[in-house]
Each structure stands twice: as structure tokens, then as C-alpha cells.
Structure 1
């Protein structure tokens, strides 16, 4: 009578199935976290004015009475806007804004990247920055120390 041996591939199949389930759960968790973070960042880091830029001085100034360091209003169809603190240590916004949306930030120093300089109106410390050409990418640093943006 011959001995019965178990299939040597049986253990590998079980290990592969368990690994696949663990990887799928990990991807699901990462996706859920990213979605949760994106939804919170969109509502918390931006100040979207649905009716366009407000002409009211109280809406365009910080609680201290001075204008915010940076205010970007999309005047074109849409524009990608990236704003962070120096060294990208804290990304305040990195998304596509639609016509009429406004982003306001009041940190002491901000790095700004804009995909279409002709599609936005930019104010640094309340002073309007010269408009870029349509399709021109803009990159500059905005500071609250009264110096002109670079």
C-alpha cells in the first residue's frame, strides 16, 4: 500500500490567497484614507467664493484688518493652483479651481504655482499682481513682510 502525500502546492495556494486578500484590504484602506483626506482638505484649506471675488473689504481682509497675504480668483474657465509653505512642508492646496472660485491664504511665506497665469487674478498683500499671459505657468513666493513677490 502506497503512502498518501499532500500536494506540495496546496500550502503555496493558501499563502497566495491570504496575501491577495491582505493586499486588497490594504489598498482599500489607503483609498478610503485618501478620499477622506481629499474631502477634508478641499473644504478646510480653501475659501471658495461661489459668486466670484467679493468686492467687500471685510471679505478680503484678515481678522487683523490687513488684507490676506495671498488671494487668487479664477477669472478664466479653470486653473490648477498649488500653494504651500516653504519647502513644501505644508501643502495648502493642490487642485483645479473652476471659474469664480477664490483661494485665500494668510501664512507669512507661501510658494505659489499656477498653471495658467491668464486665467487668474492674484493679489499679494492686497496689491494686484500683473496678469500673466494665457497658458503661461507662474511660480512665485508671496510674503507678508511688505516686499514685492519674487
Structure 2
């Protein structure tokens, strides 16, 4: 089993990337997502994540087998009531949101876009296409809560 990298090291690295992208790139979240995709591909290999054909099972395995290697927090999976092929993963303590503050004008920004890329890598590796976006949804009880919206593409 691979050794774990300290959370503070990963967070420091992500904070540095966000600062760099904010100064030098137009779409910081998209760039973080691309990096997350590359990291996700490596994680799938390292943790021997097997292809999953059924989307509900894939969601479960991603949320409760793969993501705990990144951040061990409470999660919940839901299927959208309004849109077919859309699923929600709620993470009660977003790993990167916990350590990052951004300017007030970036209130919709979410550094957990890195995890979006990781989720897309898992879907692609299983033969599915998905578009994943993340939204910060803090509550009084969970100030770092984030919601991943996964839209399965045909």
C-alpha cells in the first residue's frame, strides 16, 4: 500500500497552484480540473481501481473507496430528481476549501475543482463520459461543505 502524503503538503501545493493560476490564467477552476484528471489517472493505477460498468456502483466506489485516499470526510450520494443522468456527491468537509481563502469577488470559486478532475478520470477509465462541477455549499454545521454535480453524458 502506498504511503500517504501529509494533508498539509498537498494543501500547500494546491494553494500555490491556485495563486499562480489566479495571476497567470483565465480559468483557474478548469486548470485545477485538468491537474486533478492527471492525478486521478495515477491514483486509479496506484490503488488498482477496477473498471465499473454500472454508474450507481461506480459512484459508490468512487465516493467510498477512492476519495477517502484524498480526504476522509462524510459523504452522501444522491440522484437528481430533476435531470436524468445527473448525480450529486456531497462532501461535508471539502479538502481544499478547508485551507484556502480567496478574494470576495471569487465567492463562487471552489479549489475542490481538483477533485472534479479525479472524478472525471474515474468515469473515463470505466468507459463513461461525465462532466463534473463543484459548488461550495457551506452550512452552519459544515462550513467547508462542497457539492459535486456529475452529469453523465451519452
TM-score, length-scaled by structure 1: 0.29
Q: Higher strand fraction: Structure 1 or Structure 2?
A: 1
Q: Higher helix fraction: Structure 1 or Structure 2?
A: 2
TM-score, length-scaled by structure 2: 0.29
Which structure has the bigger radius of gyration? Answer: 1
